[in-house]
Chain A
Amino acid sequence: MMMKKLFEVMRVYGLVVGAAASLWAQAPLITAEGFAVPQAGKTFSFPRDHGAHPDFKLEWWYVTGHLFKEGAEGAGGRRLGFQATFFRQAAPDKSVQLHLAHMAIIDVATGRFLHQERLNRAGWDAGSAEETLEVRQGNWSLRLSDPAAAAGAERMELRGGVQAEAALALTLTPVKPLVVFGENSISRKGAAPTAASYYLTFSRLRAEGDVTLGAEKFSVRGEAWMDHEISSSQLDTNQVGWDWVSVQFTDQRELMMYRLRTRDGGADPASSLTWVDAAGKPLQQKFSWEVLETWKSPATGAVYPSRVAVSTTDPATGAAVRYTLEPLARDQELPGRLGGIAYWEGACRVRDAAGKEVGSAYMELTGYAAELKL
């Protein structure tokens, strides 16, 4: 399906944080199709920049998180993972905006994975406001509780669900300041001059609200991560997919990494890992990636990494660290019927080298079901 390519492009661009920082000074103002290109030294103003940027070709709001049934936060309590993403894409001739959205919920105790996908043109049933954060898709929405909330005072309302099987009503409150990934407000994605994005992230949000699963409704608390990424660029053709991870450690630090896999089986130099310290300051580090176990999807036949190890340097201590990511359920694959790509996006447990649980993660694995040809 056609939409496959469109939304692969959207996701990949956002992940490929550019290594070729020396090139950004020459970035042209517009792409060949006439879309805006992220500019260095951009001063973001909020709430406006939480809203949509239709001058750019691609944009998305990506929320993932870990929830615990209220009163059962300890080990053995009811645990859920969720993903709620809203995409926007402009037609090449800018005549119309399309909106795609994905929702997924994993019930860790049962391993039951629910997901749904929606595609609409901008209009009465889908859209994104420009002046503030307000994206919607049918009965799903993500908006600021106070549309005029100033930077640092944001609180968000997420309404979503999966068909009639599950519903989410969450209030998301940032507990750490907004992170702007990349350098000088711009995040490079590849060698091409237009390959850049604005990459804004709330790396830690307090999540609280209600979850309905089947006939059961209960209160939940937990933590979430939210990316908002804006770009217009095109992608290299030698990449076949990527692996992306966001980790929230129990010590209030976070880690975000992506690894762009190339056709020859290696990783693109644009791959990177960034630590976010307790104060919210980002810092890049070298890393390595090791697949410990794989899982074959019965639905698509794709073989995904299932347990992986990420080795890097802890900037706080300078020590080498090795973290193992263990999926909370093996099957967290989204078949991507409308968007067109099957990918794995799932909640994981993070353990240190000693086997101690040190945090929670979301991992995204693409290009395993079919080579991404972009």
Chain B
Amino acid sequence: MNGSVISLLLRRFSWRHARLAPRATALLVGILALGVAVFVSIRLANRAAVSSFTHFTDTLTGQSDLIVQAPAGTLPESVLPELRAALGVRPVHIVPVVEATAAEALAAGEAAGFGRKTYTLLGVDLLALANLASQSNVERSYFDQGQAQKVGGRGARDNEVGVGDFWRAFAAGPQVWVSAALASTPPKILALVFDERVRTLPVVGVIPTAKDAPRVPANLLVLDLPHLQQITGKVGRLDRVEFLVEPGPRASERRAELQTLLEKLGGERWIVTTPGTRRESAETMTRAFRLNLTILSLIALLVGLYLIFQALDGAVVRRRTEIAILRSLGVEERVIQLAWLTEAAVLGLLGGALGLVLGWAGAQFAVRAVGQTVNALYYATTVEAASLAPGELVLGLGLGLGASLVAGWWPARLAASTPPAQVLPRGAPPAAGGRWQRSFALGAGCVGLGVVLAQLSPLRLDGGGRFPLAGYAAAFFWIFGGGLMAGWLLPLVARGARIWGVAWAPARIALSHLRRPSGRHRLSVAALHCAVGMAAGMAILVASFELTVRSWIVRSLQADLYVASAGAQNASMDNFISAEAADRLASHPAVADAARFTAYPLELGGIPTLLSGTDLGLMHVRSDLPWVRPPRDPAIWQTERNARLALVSEAFVERFGKKPGDTLRLPTPGGVQAVVIAGVFADYGNERGSILVDRTHLKAWFADARVTNVSLWLKPEVDADTVRAELLREFPGLAVFTNVKLRAEVLRIFRQTFAITYALEVIAVLVAVIGLALTLTSVLLDRREELTTLRALGFTRRELAGAAALEGGVVAAAAVVGGLVLSVALGWLLIYVINKQSFGWTLEFSVPWGQLVALTVAVVGTGVAVSYLVGRWGADLPADREE
């Protein structure tokens, strides 16, 4: 019975209204869709960026069970016979791996800079690879690439030639296999930068894979192990050893047994991990960053929530009479409520579905932006496309549905509580929104709660990550509370406007509405306030960040020239300059001083960080570090006294919970080194934190004289550009930056990492402005009778449009005023709580006035323009039309 009543109601009531106002319905679906789309696209992009942290070896070997690697640096090859002997008869494949990164060499005349195509090179024993079970259905081996056309039962002679081909391919010098995804026809050769040298490597063919194997990333290059060892100067060394337990009976038991054996055998020499933990550590590394993006991506939906609430509420008010009649016909409250919720649910599902499509499309752009940031800050990703997983289909629809149900709940209850027609007072004032919407006290309470929450410490994630949950909760309460309070701005602004704008009758009409703002006005203000506040808050964060980074750059980049391998393109690359090349740079006649800098990735208690070394004495004289806690004892500057001292970055302090005076135990190839933290410096280039020691000691610990980069101070009256050109000629594999150019590059990368956050804010503001149009439409519909009367009194269409424009303009202005106040609060929260807790960086507060003024003008201007158009449309509304 109830079911049939509901379906009748939906058909004859809800659907009729939707048909009568197709544009408003479409707009609602559109807003929901946009909110869902933004969330979905960020989610897809995030997932793609994380999944693109490929444990590259997996694409060659199938999943390894265990991985052995040195806590820092490489392992000697002599561990291999030791491992095999220790494993005895256990059926385990041992796969030694060397991994390297390289950038494409510059074509002649090309400008140096970051952002060149980079490759991950994997060196494994390509002959032994075929022994793995995962390779059993690979059709061709690495050394058979030229054989395709020869197979097919020709004469004996051809096949003898074939045997020769195998040996030729096998005995050839360094050569690479490329991914099928790299190009439709693989290039014949690749010119790559390793350290300071450019090497040209012949391409043999495509990496052979089984049909069901995971796709080989486009930037993966495969070499035979000895070749890559030779190219990277790791002869006799290994980056890691992977273990594949033969599948079969008791496999998990044997895996556990192997892990115990390896841990016992290794002692402090190596760390035993699994590809899972490596992937997890990549995930935890970027978790804070990705969570931040996810939260930002929800703003558009949050703003959308206000608007949907508003639209449904408006519909309830307008159809009040009809509902009253239905009630008097005996339709139960429950049924009416259900019909409204069903209507909201249908809108939500439509919006969710459309949002999925839009979100997928948006993800194709977002994925690049997210990928760039991950690349710049964390590790090499190769992500190029994002795809929709089945779970995300459900999530997108669920989000649309959930949002519309949350927003529709109150209007549905309102509809259900409509009294029957007999008792419905004719022309009763529309009771838009609940009483709570007008509660200043509730708003103030929320703001107060936010202040308390902002004082709490962050949530600690595994692997050294931190997530400012309380900080975000504070932001939420401020946005919500601020939204409630912003409604109170309307009468104030209206009263203020009245002082100079009462002569014109339409203005008086507009302001009279605003002096007693309806719930609808309040909601519109709240939505815009939220969007403006977030966007402006973000702008404040970025401006503060930029100011800080600028002053950091000025302080820390003081040399005239910076030299690094042109292969080093991002945070995760491991390209060095040879000791000889560094010496030649230092002894160049134009060079007065040269500071060598070397950095190695290091794991400290399972958390990845960076261990670096430089000539601390020279640095002290030449360019001071930007200090957070300067060292008190000058011993740190003297090589003979600083062997047991270290400086750490601010991010390190946050991540590892250490302070000056604490001792760190650094696992190095030369044994565990205990160092005491002497001071803390600021470093905005590295979120993992870093430890800085004197390079003399680092060199001894790692038995490695290579350097990551060299800073050169030139003699007076030497032109930096001339020296740079000279160095580039001499070392074609080096990237040489002048001071000015490097500063610009650093800032460019910095801005690039914020590109996506900006995009998210712009979308939220856009949604809010559309919402303003929707609000006014709704308001004017409510006032059909009044409008007809005004037209009858002689008001022109333009005058009515003007009145609407003023009304919209004041709403926008009130929202902007509230939004700016909110933005300062959010900016403070982002800088001193959220950012500090997530990344461990202290920033100076800076307000980008220009941007805020532009935002104000844009929002108020668009508000006025949109309202004017809505007003023109509203002026022609017939009083007797339904909607």
Task: Report the bound CA distance from A118 to B127 in whole Å.
Answer: 10
Chain A: CB-nearest residue to B166: A2
Query: Which residues of A in the span 63-95 have a Cβ within 8 Å of any Cβ on B?
Result: 91-93, 95
B513 at interface by CB-CB < 8 Å: no
0/1 string, B55-95, CB within 8 A of A gives 1: 00000000000000000000001001100100111111110
The verdict on B155 contacting chain A, using a C-beta distance below 8 Å, is yes
Could you tell me if A6 and B127 are in contact, using CB atoms closer than 8 angstroms?
no
Q: How far is the CB of A264 from chain B (nearest CB, A)?
A: 15
Which of A22-30, A142-150, A156-164, A353-361 participates in binding chain B? A156-164
Asked if B127 and A121 make an inter-chain contact with CB atoms under 8 angstroms apart, the answer reads yes
Residues of B within 8 A of A165 (CB): 248-249
Interface residue ranges of B479-504 to A (CB < 8 Å): none
Q: Is the pair A120, B127 in contact by a Cβ cutoff of 8 Å?
A: yes
Cβ of A215 and Cβ of B249 under 8 Å apart? Answer: yes
Q: Is B621 an interface residue (CB 8 A)?
A: no
Considering only residues 248-262 of chain B, those with a C-beta below 8 Å from chain A are 248-251, 254
Q: Answer whether A95 and B143 are a contact pair too, CB < 8 Å, given A161-B89, A163-B133, A337-B136.
A: no
- Bound form: Cα–Cα A32–B162 in Å: 18
B163 on the interface (CB 8 Å rule)? yes
Task: Report yes or no: B80 in contact with A159, Cβ–Cβ below 8 A.
Answer: no
Asked if A41 is at the interface of the complex by the 8 Å CB criterion, the answer is no
Q: SS class of chain A's interface: helix, strand, loop or mixed?
A: loop
Q: A298 in the interface, Cβ–Cβ < 8 Å?
A: no
Docked complex Cα distance between A371 and B154 (Å): 11
At the interface, yes or no: A290 with Cβ under 8 Å from chain B?
Answer: no
Contact with B along A298-326 (1 / 0, CB 8 A): 00000000000000000000000000000
- CB-defined contacts of A169 to chain B, threshold 8 Å: 89
Query: Does any Cβ of A come within 8 Å of B125's Cβ?
Result: yes
| B844 in contact (CB, < 8 A) | no
A272: shortest Cβ distance to chain B, in Å?
24
Q: Look across to chain B and name the residue whose beta carbon is closest to the beta carbon of A371.
A: B153
Residue B171 interfacial (CB < 8 Å):
yes
Query: Do A118 and B131 contact each other (CB < 8 Å), given the known contacts A2-B147, A124-B81, A161-B91?
Result: yes
**Would A120 and B131 count as touching, CB distance under 8 A?**
yes
Contact status B251-A374, CB under 8 Å: no
Known: A119-B127, A125-B84. A1 touches B249 (CB 8 A): no
A95 to B170, CA, bound (A): 10
User: Shortest beta-carbon distance, A88 to chain B, in Å?
Assistant: 14
Q: Of the candidates A95, A119, A138, A373, which one forms a contact with B130 in the assembled complex, judged by CB atoms under 8 Å apart? A: A119
- The answer, yes or no, to whether A96 is at the interface (CB within 8 Å) is yes
Q: How far is the CA of A167 from the CA of B249 in the complex (A)?
A: 12
B248 closest partner in A (C-beta): A164
Please name the residue on chain A nearest to B250 by beta carbon: A215
Measured CA separation A2–B145 after assembly (Å) = 10
| With A1-B144, A5-B162: A91-B249 Cβ-Cβ less than 8 Å | no
- Set B128, B159, B165, B254: member contacting A164, Cβ < 8 A: B254
**CB of B140 closer than 8 Å to a CB of A:** yes
CB atoms of A91 and B170 under 8 A apart: yes
Chain A residues within 8 Å of chain B by Cβ, number: 36
- Least distance between A262 CB and chain B CB atoms (Å): 13
Given contacts A118-B131, A121-B125, contact A92 B167 (CB under 8 A): yes
Which has the most chain A C-beta neighbours within 10 Å: B87, B131, B147? B131
Check if A237 is an interface residue, CB within 8 A of chain B: yes
Min Cβ gap B481→A in Å is 63
CA distance A119 to B163 in the complex (A): 16
Q: Which residues of B contact A159 (CB under 8 A)?
A: 89
CB pair B131–A138 under 8 Å, yes or no, is yes
**Are B163 and A167 in touch, CB under 8 angstroms?**
no
Let me know if B143 and A124 touch, CB within 8 A: no
> Is B214's CB within 8 Å of the partner chain A?
no
Please report which residues of chain B, range 146-191, place their CB below 8 angstroms from some CB of chain A when the two chains form the complex.
Answer: 147, 153, 155-156, 159-160, 162-167, 170-171
Q: Which residues of A contact B87 (CB under 8 A)?
A: 139
The CA-CA distance from A95 to B172 in the complex, in Å, is: 11
In the bound assembly, the distance between CA atoms of A138 and B95 in angstroms comes to 11
* A159–B89 alpha-carbon span in the complex (Å): 7
Give the contacts of B226-249 with A (CB-CB under 8 A).
245-249
* Measured CA separation A374–B159 after assembly (Å): 8
B556 interfacial contact with A, CB 8 Å: no
CA distance A19 to B186 in the complex (A): 52
A105 vs chain B, min Cβ distance (A): 13
A163 B80 Cβ-Cβ under 8 A: no
Residue of B nearest to A9 (CB): B163
A124 and B249 contacting across the interface, CB-CB below 8 Å: no
Chain B residues near A1: list those with CB within 8 A: 140-141, 144, 147
Pick from B130, B153, B167: contact of A338, CB below 8 A.
Answer: B130
Residues of A within 8 A of B249 (CB): 164-165, 214-215
Minimal beta-carbon separation of B723 from chain A (angstroms): 45
Q: Which residues 646-694 of B sit at the A interface, judged by CB distance below 8 A?
A: none
Q: Which of B91, B162, B170 has the most CB of A within 10 A?
A: B91
Task: Give complex CA distance A373, B153 in Å.
Answer: 9
**Measured between alpha carbons, how far is A124 from B128 in the docked complex, in Å?**
12
Question: Can you list 21 residue pairs at the A/B interface with Cβ under 8 Å?
Answer: A1-B140, A1-B141, A2-B143, A2-B165, A5-B159, A5-B163, A91-B171, A93-B167, A117-B131, A119-B127, A120-B127, A124-B80, A125-B94, A139-B87, A139-B90, A163-B91, A163-B247, A164-B245, A164-B247, A167-B91, A169-B89
**Residues in chain B within 8 A of chain A (CB atoms):** 77, 80-81, 84, 87-94, 125, 127-128, 130-131, 133, 136, 140-141, 143-144, 147, 153, 155-156, 159-160, 162-167, 170-171, 245-251, 254
B-contacting residues of A (Cβ < 8 Å)?
A: 1-3, 5-6, 91-93, 95-96, 98, 117-121, 124-125, 138-139, 159, 161, 163-165, 167, 169, 214-215, 237, 337-338, 370-371, 373-374
20 further A-B pairs in the complex, CB-CB below 8 A; given A2-B162, A117-B131, A125-B94: A1-B144, A2-B165, A3-B141, A5-B159, A5-B162, A92-B164, A95-B171, A96-B170, A120-B127, A124-B81, A138-B84, A138-B94, A139-B84, A163-B247, A164-B250, A169-B89, A214-B249, A338-B131, A373-B156, A374-B156
